[in-house]
Amino acid sequence: MTTKRALIKELAQRMECTDVAAKKFLNSYIELITEKLSEGEGVSIHYFGKLVPHYQTERPGRNLRTGEECKIRARTSVKFKASEILIQKLNPETIKQKECTEIRRTLFVLSFRDIYRCFLFTQ
């Protein structure tokens, strides 16, 4: 797993700036997203995905060690929904399968049209 320090170094190289500037940028970016989520707003990052606050109500639970029943407090967590583009980049073989399916459909439609045209000409 990549650490924040490694991300800062990579970001500094890509942006051609100092590590301090990259760290300031990354911290500001994280702080801004945190603020928006704490205000109850979702954050959508094009080509990456959506971060949405998820409200969980109080519910009954159980202590696994003792078996004692307890209540789990209401809380807010964050759900992430990856964009279709990110999913495609993570699963390149899936793209090929989708493309093959599209090609098969196209060939089927073309061959069906040809059969239909032959049928029309023979009558």
Strand partners, 53: 78
Q: Cα separation of 90 and 101, whole Å?
A: 19
Instruction: Identify the band that residue 88 occupies on the pLDDT scale cut at 50, 70 and 90.
Output: confident
Q: How confident is the model at residue 51 (pLDDT cuts 50, 70, 90)?
A: very high
pTM: 0.66
Q: Which single residue is written with the structure tokens 């090609």?
A: 103
Number of neighbours of residue 93 by Cβ within 10 angstroms: 7
What integer is the mean pLDDT of 64-79? 93
Angle CA 118–121–123, to nearest 5: 110
Give residue-wise pLDDT tens across range 56-68: 999 999 988 999 9
**pLDDT of res. 97:** 57
* Predicted confidence band of residue 37 (pLDDT cuts 50, 70, 90): very high
DSSP for residue 17: S
Q: What type of residue sits at position 115?
A: I
